[in-house]
Amino acid sequence: MSYPWWYVPSLTSPMVIAVVAIVHVLVSQYAVGGGFLLALENQYALNNGDSEYRKYWKSHAKFFILLTVVFGSITGVGIWWTIGLASPLATEELIRIFVFGWAIEWVFFSLELVAAFGFFYFWDRLPKSTHKAMGWIYAGAAWISLVLITGITAFMLNSRGIFGDWETTGGFWYAFFNRQFIPQTLLRTGISLLLATVYIYMHITWIDAGNALREKTVRRMRGPSIAGALLMAAGAAGWFIFLPQSARMMLERAAVINVFLGIFAAASAAIVLLLILGPFRAPQKMNFTSALSLFFLAAAAIGSSEFIREGIRKPYLVDQVVYGNQIMVAQSGPISRSGFLNSGVWTGLYLRDLQEKYPSLRIYTPANILPGSRSQSTAVGAPVPGAGSSRLNAVSVGAPAAHALQTGTVLDLPEEGSRRPGNEDWLRMGQEDQLALGRVLFMHLCNDCHAAAHGYSAAAPQLTGKTEEETVSFLKHLNRPGYFMPPWCGNDTEATLLARYLMSIRPEMPSNITGRAEESNLP
């Protein structure tokens, strides 16, 4: 409510997040698994006095740092940039809930950078014991970063805690140790190890290494690949067991999720088969083409798993905290009673302009910033009443905005169970202005998941054949029967405005669908 929208034509903002996130995950997971293998193999080479083998790992360390530290850091910043634009409220809430965790993660990330550069640039200048310790410091710091981030992202899928529910306690550790934390930590650790071995297969078969060195490296990577596969299997099983009921039903109901499940299963099976035929049965015949095939299969498996993880959270962005339409779960009731357009800072600006255009109509009323979770404060920094209170800390927009921001004006809202009448004067405006206001509603309430007329999951084509009345009824019952949609967060008049906008951009029924069948009264 306190943020403007971010419009990405056709592609939609979640798909931008998906593209950046998948690229980042393919690098960040390697940063964790590769760190363990660099430390392990460097220690092995030092303990056995194998200078040739250690020389190879120095060359791999250079490739590793360029890819993970340089490119990985850039894509990591890209993640923050995209989620901050596409999901500002969810990002804000995760920072509020896990600010202590994010601070710890940044400490360990800084330690990663120092250890990685020290490990590579002082390769031949540090004492053996110190260099081995430097490698393990990096590996440990990278894994702890993975653990910390996993605790936060796992909370987004299941906010129920292992030791107690955050919803009741509000404590950081209750949120961090959620029911998805251990399964996802095992899963991501396994992916990191397995993906790291794939990168190593590609690197050793690409450079001009001798046959003996290549075979030795391939053989030594078999153990980590087995460990990674076993951890992945255990983590995936736990992930499924501790899914919320809504997410488990989504696996059964959503056809596109089943497609991605099929891709994940097929890619995973193909990876296991290629590992058996290559590194395990004929390590001396491992070549770059085989390694590259493993990488593309791994990318398909990881990419599909990320889509599954994101898709089954619906209707939430953060489980039981933030809906997919960027509205706090605790705000949805009050917003429905007061009206969406009357409840936001940015939407209030549109109403103010329209009020000047239609001075005789009741268009503009002060907007309210409604309370969210127990952790959320108002724009003026004062604590808000509980979610059940009927008196909400409010901030006006337009002319009274500055005064309200300074004083934290408190406005009376209807008690639970009552509803302010829809602002019917909106329907007395000109058609062009009604459609413009409907587009504002679409951008705030629908744009986070749907393109408008064309593009990813476009909304208008899905309404082809429906009347305005049917569309209004559909909007007012978004979460029935499809619970994966957030509930309608607006009044009846706003549903009409949004329906009229969607009707104006929807395609007509295809000519080969209507016509003969209707003329002959065929079903």
Residue pLDDT tens, the chain, 523 long? 578 889 999 889 888 988 999 999 999 999 999 999 999 999 999 999 999 999 999 999 999 999 999 999 899 999 999 999 999 999 999 999 999 999 999 999 999 999 999 999 999 999 999 999 999 999 999 999 999 999 999 999 999 999 988 888 888 999 999 999 999 999 999 999 999 999 999 999 998 767 899 999 999 999 999 999 999 999 999 999 999 998 998 888 888 889 999 999 999 999 999 999 999 999 988 999 999 999 999 999 999 998 898 889 989 999 999 999 989 998 888 888 888 998 888 888 889 899 999 999 988 876 444 443 333 332 322 232 233 322 223 333 333 332 332 333 333 344 444 444 568 899 999 999 999 999 999 999 999 889 999 998 899 999 988 999 999 999 999 988 778 899 999 999 999 999 999 999 998 888 787 554 444 444 4
In a domain, 102, yes or no: yes
**Could you count the other beta carbons within 10 Å of the beta carbon of residue 471?**
19
Q: Name the burial class of residue 251, with classes exposed (0-12), middle (13-18) and buried (19+) by CB atoms within 10 angstroms of its CB.
A: middle
Going by C-beta distance under 8 Å and a sequence separation of 6 or more, which residues neighbour residue 228? 33, 189, 190, 191, 192, 193, 194, 195, 196, 197
Strand partners, 322: 318, 328
Distance CA 328, CA 321 (A): 6
- Type of residue found at 296: F
Assess contact for 466 and 519: CB atoms under 8 A.
no
Q: Looking at the 3D structure of the chain, how many domains does it have?
A: 2
Claim to verify: residue 223 and residue 344 sit in the same structural domain: no
Claim to verify: residue 236 and residue 338 sit in the same structural domain: no
The closest of 430, 437, 290, 282 to 352, measured between CA atoms, is: 437
Last residue of one domain, picked from the residues 243, 258, 293? 243
**Could you count the other beta carbons within 10 Å of the beta carbon of residue 256?**
11
Last residue of one domain, picked from the residues 243, 268, 286? 243
Claim to verify: residue 127 and residue 234 sit in the same structural domain: yes
In a domain, 296, yes or no: no
Kind and range of the H or E run holding 252: helix 245-253
Q: Which residue has the tokens 């409010």?
A: 394
What are the CB-based long-range contacts (under 8 Å, 24+) for 171-179? Answer: 172/97, 172/98, 172/100, 172/101, 175/97, 175/98, 176/98, 176/101, 176/151, 176/152, 177/151, 178/151, 178/154, 179/242
Q: Which residue has the tokens 């986070």?
A: 448
Q: pTM here?
A: 0.84
Claim to verify: residue 358 and residue 465 sit in the same structural domain: yes
- Tokens linked to 9: 């034509």
Distance CA 435, CA 500 (A): 7
3-state helix, strand, coil in the chain (%, to 5): 65, 5, 30
Distance CA 360, CA 267 (A): 64
Distance CA 165, CA 186 (A): 22
In a domain, 398, yes or no: yes
Going by C-beta distance under 8 Å and a sequence separation of 6 or more, which residues neighbour residue 253? 484
In a domain, 476, yes or no: yes
In a domain, 297, yes or no: no
Which domain range does residue 213 map to?
13-243
Claim to verify: residue 379 and residue 482 sit in the same structural domain: yes
Claim to verify: residue 100 and residue 224 sit in the same structural domain: yes
**Could you count the other beta carbons within 10 Å of the beta carbon of residue 55?**
15
The closest of 317, 387, 393, 392 to 157, measured between CA atoms, is: 317
The closest of 150, 175, 161, 180 to 247, measured between CA atoms, is: 180
Last residue of one domain, picked from the residues 243, 259, 279? 243
The reply to whether omega before 481 is within 30° of 0 (cis) is yes
Helix (H, G, I), strand (E, B) or coil at 67: helix
Claim to verify: residue 228 and residue 344 sit in the same structural domain: no
Claim to verify: residue 176 and residue 65 sit in the same structural domain: yes
In a domain, 22, yes or no: yes
The closest of 196, 148, 174, 184 to 29, measured between CA atoms, is: 196
In a domain, 469, yes or no: yes
In a domain, 179, yes or no: yes
